[in-house]
């Protein structure tokens, strides 16, 4: 019988863990930002809500999270006149095109 109780406790803990991760308001993982090969910032488990501003303009973004992102050349996650946001899927990277300007902010795409 003790094995049955242990298995029940383990199953209960696993279900609780699944329930808690389903209600996350964070993008699990890291966003790594670089400028011309130099590390600018690493952001761990950012909130999926709102706009996130990089410390400075960046030329390269690695999205190592479980959520897709939108990158912006403006500091407030808005599209500049004539510009647009850039979609960056989870577990992928993007390098800015010099003519568009540096990435200054990001938000997470609606799921």
Q: What is the model's pLDDT at position 85?
A: 83
Residue 26 is classified by DSSP as B
Residue labelled with tokens 């200054």: 104
Q: What pLDDT, in 10s, does the model give residues 55-85? A: 999 999 999 999 999 999 999 999 877 667 8
pLDDT at 110: 86
The CATH class for the domain spanning 25-108 reads mainly beta
Q: How far apart are CA 110 and CA 44, in angstroms?
A: 19
For the chain, give every domain's residue range.
25-108
Tokens 């003519």, residue located: 99
Contact call for residues 17 and 35 (beta carbons, < 8 A): no
Pairing of strands 103-108, 69-72: antiparallel
Prediction pTM value = 0.74
For position 1, what pLDDT does the model report?
A: 46
Q: Work out the burial of residue 65: count CB atoms within 10 Å of its CB; fewer than 13 is exposed, 13-18 middle, 19 or more buried.
A: buried
pLDDT by residue, tens only, the chain of 111 residues: 455 666 655 655 555 554 444 456 888 999 999 998 899 999 999 999 999 999 999 999 999 999 999 999 999 999 877 667 899 999 999 888 766 789 999 999 987
């Amino acid at each position: 019988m003790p094995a049955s109780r242990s298995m029940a406790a383990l199953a209960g803990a696993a279900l609780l863990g699944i329930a808690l991760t389903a209600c996350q308001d964070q993008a699990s993982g890291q966003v790594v930002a670089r400028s011309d090969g130099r590390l600018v910032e690493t952001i761990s488990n950012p909130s999926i809500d709102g706009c996130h501003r990089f410390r400075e303009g960046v030329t390269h973004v690695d999205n190592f999270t479980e959520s897709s992102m939108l990158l912006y050349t403006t500091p407030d996650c808005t599209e500049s006149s004539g510009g647009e946001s850039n979609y960056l899927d989870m577990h992928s990277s993007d390098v800015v095109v010099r003519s568009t300007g540096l990435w200054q902010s990001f938000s997470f795409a609606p799921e």
